[in-house]
Amino acid sequence: MTLDTLPTLDARQLERTALVRAFTAPKGFGDQTLRDRRADAIELLGGIPDPAVLPAHELADATARVLAQPGLPALQYSRTEGIPALREWIAAREGVPASRILVTNGGFHGLALAIQTTVERGDLVAVDNPIFPLFLRGLELSDARILPVRVGPHGLDVDELGAVLRGGARPAALYTVPDFHNPTQGSLSLEGRRELVRLAEHYGFVVFADNPYRELRFAGGVPEEEPFNHSERVIHVNTFTKTLGPGLRLGWLVLPESLVPDVVAVRSRQDSHSSTFVQAVVAELLTHDAGLFDATLDRARALYGSRARTLAEAIDREAPGEFEVEVPTGGLFLWPRLRDARVDADRLAADASTEGVEYQRGSFFPSGPGTDADRRLRLAFGDTTEDRLAEAATRLARALRRQRE
């Protein structure tokens, strides 16, 4: 019997790996099938920076300089950890040695590397509740079980976490967004950070501190102390996504020294290293004019702070008394709460879509029971002009009136 006459063995269909089988289809947040929107819809969906405050010309100029360098180092292979010029700039800003910086393809990539390095399959991982939902998709890389921990007005409720740990819970890791929490907008205090680090060091878990919005504070300077950069139990995750543009796909981890070799080992078996080209262009951008990054941030903070106030005021004006709206002190989101329990929040989101305004409904964000997230709306204002934000509030109010009629 020759090969050609043998029947194909149907039993040997391609099987998906256990890794892939653990993945679930996106529900709610990230589910593209929910999107059937008006052509003129105002999208308040994602934390997207406004092109107006991204340094496009300066990036083009930096690229021209980088591509004029003899030997074209920007087009060649480079080390898994990242190129020295970029690691050193980041390290100086973080106040740590450059040896602790690993350059990533953005914040989410940093989280994925942290998960694959430290979370064993089936491990328990404590997480924000409510949570940035995409982290739970990343966690499927380790098929982990989750332990939701309440997020209060000042970020993660470290007291509740302490109680849960004293009660015997033993997570391998904890995930939180410490500054301008996504979606709840609070920030963890210095004392809260210190206590979280103490708990991590005592109970032996790793903190994934995911900090993409840190630089987008509308007032005040950099906190003088960052406990997350000074513990063997914290992986501090950051990115240029919200400041220089998501499309660069460039971020970094501040790693405990002891974890650097393992993260490098994972990374070197996946995509080797982040684009030397992107790293070289951004390093040139940041070092050619030492004031450029802060000037860029100043413009961004002024723009986003103004948009946050505009949207909050417009909601109060267009739908008086309907929402409890707190103007955030940084970041890219409003998280207003419906005052009237009789309003159907899911119907509101559907009616808002019909009226031409799209947002993420609060019910997409809980990681467990006990939150008021389903009474809230996450409104992203980063890439929408103030005129359009005011129009969005008008449309939202119109959607709300549909339930009043």
Q: What is the DSSP string of 238-255?
A: EESTTTT-GGG--EEEE-
Scan residues 125-154 and list those touching a copy of itself (CB under 8 A).
137-138, 140-142
Contact 111, 139 (CB under 8 A): no
Q: Which stretch binds a copy of itself (CB under 8 A): 186-194, 196-204, 344-352, 354-362?
A: 196-204
1 binds a copy of itself, rule: CB under 8 A: no
Q: What is the DSSP string of 162-231?
A: HHHHHTT---SEEEE--SS-TTT-----HHHHHHHHHHHHHHT-EEEEE-TTTT-BSSS---S--GGGS-
CB nearer to a copy of itself: give 162 or 223: 162
Tokens linked to 77 = 């292979």
39 binds a copy of itself, rule: CB under 8 A: no
Residue in the block written with tokens 């309440």: 150
Q: Which of 154, 198, 401, 402 binds a copy of itself (CB under 8 A)?
A: 198
Q: Which stretch binds a copy of itself (CB under 8 A): 70-78, 152-160, 184-192, 328-336?
A: 70-78
Scan residues 200-239 and list those touching a copy of itself (CB under 8 A).
201-206, 232-233
5 binds a copy of itself, rule: CB under 8 A: no
280 binds a copy of itself, rule: CB under 8 A: yes
Q: Using the Cα atoms of residue 11, residue 16, residue 18 and residue 22 in order, give the sign of their dihedral.
A: negative
Distances (CA, A) of 241 to 186, 345, 383: 20, 31, 13
Scan residues 151-170 and list those touching a copy of itself (CB under 8 A).
162, 170
Distance CA 403, CA 396 (A): 12
CB nearer to a copy of itself: give 9 or 341: 9
CB nearer to a copy of itself: give 57 or 404: 57
CB nearer to a copy of itself: give 119 or 286: 119
Nearest to 128 by CA among 107, 143, 150, 110: 150
CB nearer to a copy of itself: give 10 or 405: 10
33 binds a copy of itself, rule: CB under 8 A: no
Q: Report CA dihedral (161, 186, 401, 319) to the nearest 10 degrees.
A: 150
From the CB of 284, what's the least distance to a copy of itself, in Å? 12
Q: Which of 33, 39, 40, 77 binds a copy of itself (CB under 8 A)?
A: 77
Element housing 156 (H / E): strand 155-156
Q: Which of 95, 153, 247, 370 binds a copy of itself (CB under 8 A)?
A: 247
CB nearer to a copy of itself: give 61 or 374: 61
Radius of gyration of the chain (CA): 23
Q: Which of 34, 41, 74, 102 binds a copy of itself (CB under 8 A)?
A: 74
Contact 119, 125 (CB under 8 A): yes
